[in-house]
């Protein structure tokens, strides 16, 4: 009986925490617009009349992209810290935080997406991708 009571209380807490989160989702505007997300949902066969779940998907994608970009930023900064010689050079490079294919491929490999980009393709400005996504 005690176990049941605890589980019920726990469920109630989780319900309230999640319901607060879903309510706060309506306040938060994700960067990816709702219409664009709805287009991708329709393309993939996701049917849901609830707006909150659409926002949840948009927020999840935004979080993923932000994590990948953050990892790439860390790689970029780590490389700059190793190369710094003078103070002037450091200031110049801080302003020029550029997202490159090298940093991006390293951070994507950590997430499970191996990306290869040979030198020949780099010259033409294209990238060759291998995607390993669970379907």
* Residue 12 in contact with another protein, rule: CB under 8 A: yes
* Residue 27 in contact with another protein, rule: CB under 8 A: yes
* Residue 79 in contact with another protein, rule: CB under 8 A: no
| Interface characters, 31-60, with another protein (x: CB under 8 A) | xxx-xxx-xxx-xxxxxxxxxxx--xx-xx
* Residue 80 in contact with another protein, rule: CB under 8 A: no
Return the structure tokens found at 125: 């400005």
> With contact defined as beta carbons under 8 Å apart, do 46 and 60 qualify?
no
Angstrom distance (rounded) from CA 110 to CA 105: 9
Q: Which of residues 87-106 bind another protein (CB under 8 A)?
A: 95-101, 103-104
Angstrom distance (rounded) from CA 40 to CA 35: 9
């Amino acid at each position: 009986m005690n176990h049941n009571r605890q589980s019920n209380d726990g469920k109630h807490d989780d319900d309230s925490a999640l319901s607060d989160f879903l309510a706060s989702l309506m306040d938060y505007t994700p960067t990816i617009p709702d219409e664009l997300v709805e287009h991708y949902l329709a393309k993939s066969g996701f049917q849901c009349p609830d707006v909150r779940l659409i926002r949840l998907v948009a927020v999840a994608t935004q979080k993923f992209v932000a994590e990948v970009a953050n990892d790439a930023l860390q790689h970029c900064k780590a490389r700059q810290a190793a190369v710094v010689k003078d103070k002037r050079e450091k200031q110049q490079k801080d302003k020029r935080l550029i997202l490159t294919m090298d940093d991006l491929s390293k951070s994507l490999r950590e997430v499970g997406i191996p990306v290869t980009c040979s030198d020949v393709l780099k010259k033409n400005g294209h990238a060759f991708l291998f995607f390993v996504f669970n379907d």
